């Protein structure tokens, strides 16, 4: 149980995918302009990451390892994720309309979000079990959402600032991202103290 | 002569005019993460160039065979094959580099540069042109990542390719960590805008793919339209329907 809590805490704060590990930078910088799209995107990422973690773990353990195909994990996982995202989209559209309306726009964008593939590959290399993998996927998604929503607020404040001409736009946004990620460095070491 | 000239143009296009990292703004994740040491950056550049060249050539060869509707999954399979190949070779012969690159080596699969070039260039052009485009884009990527790595390694660790230049105790360690990555990339971008501004060219970089890296090639050409498209509910429904069709084809 402690291990599960520790994974959750680390994925959200100390090992945050966006602000510490440089994963999923594209959506982080691309979507963080509007608060609504931040919420939608985070929801979709949390959903897909949790599901993808569970599905890829099951496929890896019960299909790929017995057949000796574990060296093909990159190819198989990306195809599984692509198929899964399409399937989820169709399923939600047919059966759970409200959820589809909330997340549908963002689902096709997720297939090649590098954080999803990363979380499935890391679950395997860290040798997590099924529960730990699911928690890992879920909390990595939460961490992504947290970073996205925090940064959305930073960008709102940034709009009022007047940087030098050549720094305007993306460069100053990246500097703001640097400062935001610096705040997350404050969490370093807490996990060890908390969970011993 | 003219023929030769156009080939040269395709090659240099990726290095300067359409540099994948600084101008097209594709694949920033690995640039930010790996540009900590020059040796790691060089390794990543070589791996990326290899995957780009091979996937460009194979996709260009298969461009008439691949059905249009399922082209993206087909591209991904081709790219993933070469990435797995690189992964195995690096793991077997260069274990230090394998550890340095970590998760970012398999993540070349979802790197927008490779998929973007497959979609934008290789699926529409001949084999030789695609080969040159792959080399050019790979070199452009390597150039940028190595340049950023030189600065970051020098300031952050005081070394150049592992050789100590600034005495111990005078480094700014944070440059090698995550904030330094963001900051250095921002600084490189600002420098580029400044230089282009001097030459009288206006350049407003924007990460326009909105995370739709899978369809990057398409979206990057029509960034503005796409942003509007996604705000427009009616167009959105149509796009979802098209995607569903593609899904059932898969």
> Tens digits of per-residue pLDDT, B86-134?
999 999 999 999 998 989 999 998 887 888 888 888 888 899 999 999 9
- What residues 38-77 of chain A have any CB closer than 8 A to a CB of chain B? 41, 71-72, 74-75
Query: For the CA atoms of A141, A145, A147, A148, what is the dihedral angle to 10 degrees?
Result: 130
Residue B10 vs residues A111, B122, B128: alpha-carbon distances, Å = 30, 12, 10
Considering its fold, how many domains does chain B have in total? 2
The verdict on residue B232 lying in a domain is yes
The verdict on residue A4 lying in a domain is no
The burial of A44, by beta-carbon neighbours within 10 Å (0-12 exposed, 13-18 middle, 19 or more buried), is given as buried
For A157-177, give the DSSP string: HHTT----GGGTTHHHHHHHH
Which H/E stretch holds residue A36?
helix A35-59
Residue range B225-237: mean pLDDT, rounded? 49
Residue range B206-218: mean pLDDT, rounded? 42
pLDDT confidence of residue A29: 81
Of the three residues B157, B175, B198, the one that is the final residue of a domain is B198
Q: Are B244 and A93 in contact (CB under 8 A)?
A: yes
The verdict on residue A34 lying in a domain is yes
Residue B227: is its pLDDT beyond 70?
A: no
Residue that has been written with the tokens 């230090």 in this structure:
B96
The verdict on residue B206 lying in a domain is no
Helices (H), chain B: 2-12, 28-34, 38-61, 71-93, 95-101, 112-117, 127-157, 178-198, 216-221, 223-231, 233-249
The domain containing residue A146 runs over which residues? 12-186
The verdict on residue A6 lying in a domain is no
The domain containing residue B14 runs over which residues? 2-198
Same domain, B233 and B142: no
Same domain, B79 and B186: yes
The verdict on residue B119 lying in a domain is yes
What global pTM score does this model have? Answer: 0.84
Residue A171 in tokens: 């460069």
pLDDT confidence of residue B229: 47
The verdict on residue B69 lying in a domain is yes
Q: Are A36 and A128 in contact (CB under 8 A)?
A: no
Complex ipTM tops 0.90: no
Question: Which chain B residues have a beta carbon less than 8 Å from that of A119?
Answer: none
- What residues 118-137 of chain A have any CB closer than 8 A to a CB of chain B? 118, 121-122
The verdict on residue B208 lying in a domain is no
Residue B64 in tokens: 């008439």
pLDDT confidence of residue B221: 39
Residue range B218-226: mean pLDDT, rounded? 41
The verdict on residue A196 lying in a domain is no
Q: Is B236 on the interface with A (CB under 8 A)?
A: yes
The burial of A192, by beta-carbon neighbours within 10 Å (0-12 exposed, 13-18 middle, 19 or more buried), is given as exposed
Which H/E stretch holds residue B214?
none
Residue A56 in tokens: 């890829």
The burial of A121, by beta-carbon neighbours within 10 Å (0-12 exposed, 13-18 middle, 19 or more buried), is given as buried
User: Which one of A111, A172, A182 has the shortest CB-CB distance to B179?
Assistant: A182
Residue pLDDT, tens place only, A89-100: 888 888 888 888
Instruction: Pick the closest to residue B60 from B4, B110, B134 (CA basis).
Output: B134
The verdict on residue B229 lying in a domain is yes
Q: Is A161 on the interface with B (CB under 8 A)?
A: no
User: Which one of B180, B230, B244 has the shortest CB-CB distance to A89?
Assistant: B244
Same domain, B193 and B217: no
Q: Are B51 and B115 in contact (CB under 8 A)?
A: no
Same domain, B218 and B194: no
Question: Which chain B residues have a beta carbon less than 8 Å from that of A166?
Answer: 190-191, 193-194, 197
What percentage of chain A exceeds 90 in pLDDT?
36
Residue A161 in tokens: 């600032």
- Cross-strand pairs, B164: B159
Same domain, B54 and B122: yes
Same domain, B73 and B174: yes
Residue pLDDT, tens place only, B9-55: 888 888 888 888 887 777 788 888 899 999 999 999 999 999 999 99
Residue B54 in tokens: 């091979």
Residue pLDDT, tens place only, A66-95: 999 888 889 999 999 988 888 888 888 888
Same domain, B174 and B149: yes
């Amino acid at each position: 149980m402690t291990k599960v809590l520790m994974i959750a805490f680390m994925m959200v704060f100390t090992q945050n995918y966006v602000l510490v590990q440089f994963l999923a930078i594209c959506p982080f910088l691309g979507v963080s302009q509007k608060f609504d799209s931040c919420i939608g995107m985070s929801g979709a990422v949390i959903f897909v990451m949790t599901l993808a973690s569970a599905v890829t773990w099951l496929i890896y353990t019960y299909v790929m390892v017995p057949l000796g195909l574990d060296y093909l994990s990159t190819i198989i996982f990306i195809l599984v994720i692509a198929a899964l995202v399409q399937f989820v989209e169709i399923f939600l559209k047919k059966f759970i309309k409200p959820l589809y309306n909330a997340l549908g726009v963002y689902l096709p964008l997720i297939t090649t979000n590098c954080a999803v593939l990363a979380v499935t590959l890391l679950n395997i290399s860290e040798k997590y079990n099924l529960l730990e993998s699911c928690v890992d996927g879920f909390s990595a998604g939460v961490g992504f959402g947290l970073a996205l929503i925090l940064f959305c607020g930073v960008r709102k404040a940034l709009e009022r600032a007047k940087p030098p001409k050549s720094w305007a736009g993306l460069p100053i946004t990246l500097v703001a991202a640097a400062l935001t990620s610096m705040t997350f460095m404050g969490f370093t070491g807490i996990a060890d103290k908390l969970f011993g | 002569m003219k023929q030769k000239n156009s080939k040269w143009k395709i090659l240099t296009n990726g290095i300067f005019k359409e540099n994948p990292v600084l101008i097209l703004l594709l694949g920033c994740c690995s640039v930010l993460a790996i540009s900590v040491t020059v040796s790691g950056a060089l390794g990543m550049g070589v791996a990326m160039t290899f995957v780009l060249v091979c996937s460009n050539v194979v996709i260009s060869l298969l461009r008439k065979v691949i059905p249009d509707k399922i082209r993206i999954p087909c591209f991904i399979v081709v790219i993933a094959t070469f990435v797995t190949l690189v992964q195995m070779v690096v793991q077997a012969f260069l274990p230090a580099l394998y550890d340095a690159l970590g998760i970012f080596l398999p993540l070349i699969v979802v790197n927008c540069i490779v998929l973007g070039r497959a979609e934008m260039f290789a699926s529409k052009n001949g084999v030789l042109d695609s080969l040159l485009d792959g080399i050019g884009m790979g070199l452009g990527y390597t150039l940028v990542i190595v340049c950023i790595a030189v600065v970051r390694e020098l300031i952050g660790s005081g070394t150049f390719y592992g050789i100590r230049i600034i005495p111990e105790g005078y480094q700014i360690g944070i440059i090698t960590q995550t904030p330094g990555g963001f900051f250095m990339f921002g600084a490189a971008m600002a420098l580029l805008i400044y230089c282009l501004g001097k030459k009288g060219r206006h350049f407003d970089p924007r990460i326009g793919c909105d995370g739709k890296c899978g369809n990057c090639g398409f979206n990057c050409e029509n960034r503005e339209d796409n942003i509007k498209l996604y705000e427009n509910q009616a167009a959105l429904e149509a796009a979802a329907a098209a995607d569903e069709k593609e899904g059932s084809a898969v």
